[in-house]
Amino acid sequence: MDEVIIRMRTRLFAAPFILVAAILAPVAPARAQSPSPAPDRPSAVDPERLQRLLADLAESDHRVSTGARDEMISLGSEIAPRVIERIAETADGPPRDRLVEVLEAIVEGWILDLQKILSPEETPVPAVAGLGGLTGLGGTLPRGSGDIAAAGEDARHDREAAEAARASLLAAGLPIARFLVVVPPLRDREVAFELRRVGGEIYAARVEAITEANDAERTRLHRRAVALADLGAPVIRGGVADERPEIAAFYQAVAAEALEAAFAGLTGDDPRARTRATERIYVLGELAKERLEELAAGDDPDLRFRAERLLRRIHFRITDDLYDRIGHTLEGYEERGFRERRTACLELERLGGEEAVPTLRRIVNLETSRAVRIFAAKSLLRIGDWLGRDVLIREGLRGRLDQDAELLVAIHMDQGIKFLQIGKYELAIREFQNILKVQPKNDTALYNMACAYSLWGKIEEALDYLEKSVEHGFDDAEHMERDPDLDNLRGEARYLEIIEDLKARQGNDE
């Protein structure tokens, strides 16, 4: 694969990856912090098995394709290079969509390994922007929040897994750039920063590869980037804005060819092709603005409508899923009074949830009204996005955060319990995690995390959180023994030890 990561010698620049928001501080350039991994070797998966999986994934039978997808995801790094190759070779359509789904799940696994040992230290807030609904990768950030901070023998395996995951992300290169910055999913502050560092290193490696390539190699890199333009859009957008003429020219040619193919689909007769073309144009964002404006001024009413809607979606970072939820593209937002604009923020929060985060971030960046900006930041905070808190602090409202904390905890606790009751354990865990971001020692949230993991069948995680809940004050042993949510733990030695220790401690207190 051509996404080979080599030892960095170039500087990493913030500008190519991001439009710097006026209200947020720019990030200073920095040098790459560590050497990149060696080039990827061919997939170690048995060739016959690989061909069977790829064939099954393309099957119309849902059970067959789902089984192949799950098996491929379980192979992770072993199969990722071949998945990327096949995505580049496959035309738009359901088979390619399934391959992208596999790749996204593999990347998410790497990110989960990486984030296990990231230290939640304070780090300067980066500029947050981006095109086509993506937050920007930005440049590298000062080491601190993203340092691998685990220590001791117990953390050795986690540290090794995190280092391997980071190497896998770097080795995958351009085709995973979109997954590093897309929201949702929401990520913790330190994880988002570390992924921006990874993105910066991927970009630097691409720059070096282009600079050192001969004509034949550069042609191959160009074709590869065009084929993967929807996944590598952050890199392409950054490259077009690069200050170095050679790099900017390379990516301008890539963008032009990718956009030409996308607009051919947008103006064609096939409705499915139009839908796919619409999303390709959306992720390329501002690069498509000039052509979209031409179509919006044209005579064809259907094309004019689609172009105008895409322009609004790109401007406000409205994903297709968010559009389905709210049913509009914030038409006339700029002309509304501040009360109506605040109402729009509330609608985004309530109907959009996490899907509305890029749009609310965009409003925070664009708003001239401090009142609306603060309102949008509070919506982000309630949804669980770290940027909301940072913006409120920057606006001088740190004191108000403490006053709002109890209300925020109550909201997430109530929602988490509702998710538990209907069996949505992963969503319940996310709600309780939002509480722990505000109150890390909240024993009730820790206990509810144990319940959620127990019901989900994740026994070790459940026991870990049960121990933490007791450590931070949850002392109702009788309730624990009666709580059906913990039934999956009853036969575990660690569970029995927790109960015995808690009862012994209560006996000593008496």
Note the pLDDT tens digit of each residue in 209-253. 999 999 999 999 999 999 999 999 999 999 999 999 999 999 999
433 and 379 share one domain: no
Residue 283 counted as domain residue: no
pLDDT at 277 over 70: yes
Q: What is the pLDDT of residue 407?
A: 67
Percent of the chain with pLDDT over 90: 57
Inter-axis angle of helices 245-266 and 233-240, nearest 10: 130
88 and 235 share one domain: yes
Residue 401 counted as domain residue: no
392 and 354 share one domain: yes
Q: What are the distances in angstroms from CA 67 to CA 59, 277, 426?
A: 11, 29, 22
Whichever domain contains 485, its CATH number is: 1.25.40.10
Residue labelled with tokens 């596999």: 102
Token pair listed for 298: 């044209």
pLDDT at 36 over 70: no
pLDDT at 22 over 50: no
386 and 428 share one domain: no
Residue ending a domain, choose from 219, 235, 254: 254
361 and 460 share one domain: no
* Tens of pLDDT, residues 125-142: 333 233 222 333 333 333
Mean pLDDT on 436-460: 92
What are the helix (H) ranges across 241-367?
245-266, 271-284, 289-296, 301-316, 320-326, 338-347, 357-366
387 and 430 share one domain: no
Q: What is the mean pLDDT of the chain?
A: 82
Residue ending a domain, choose from 254, 282, 304: 254
For residue 250, which of 231, 236, 232, 234 has the smallest C-alpha distance? 236
Top-confidence residue, 492 or 189: 492
* 330: region left, alpha or beta (phi > 0 left; psi from -120 to 50 alpha): left
353 and 437 share one domain: no
* Tens of pLDDT, residues 88-129: 999 888 899 999 999 999 999 999 889 877 754 433 333 323
450 and 370 share one domain: no
Burial of 40 (0-12, 13-18, 19+ CB in 10 A): buried
Residue 4 counted as domain residue: no
Residue 337 counted as domain residue: yes
SS3 31: strand
For residue 412, which of 371, 449, 382, 446 has the smallest C-alpha distance? 382
Residue ending a domain, choose from 370, 396, 422: 396
Token pair listed for 457: 């069948």
456 and 343 share one domain: no
216 and 242 share one domain: yes
Separation between Cα atoms, residue 336 and residue 237, nearest integer Å: 31
Give me the sign of the Cα torsion angle 358, 258, 193, 452. Answer: positive
> DSSP strand E in 76-217: where?
none
382 and 436 share one domain: no
Could you tell me the residue range of the domain that residue 472 belongs to?
413-509
Residue labelled with tokens 């609310």: 360
Residue 310 counted as domain residue: no
Separation between Cα atoms, residue 240 and residue 376, nearest integer Å: 31
Token pair listed for 34: 């560590």
339 and 465 share one domain: no
Residue 245 counted as domain residue: yes
Residue 2 counted as domain residue: no
Q: What are the distances in angstroms from CA 465 to CA 19, 398, 444, 448, 471?
A: 40, 29, 10, 8, 10
Residue 326 counted as domain residue: no
For residues 259, 236, 17, 309, the Cα torsion angle rounded to the nearest 10 degrees is 20
Separation between Cα atoms, residue 415 and residue 432, nearest integer Å: 9
Q: How many domains does the chain have?
A: 3
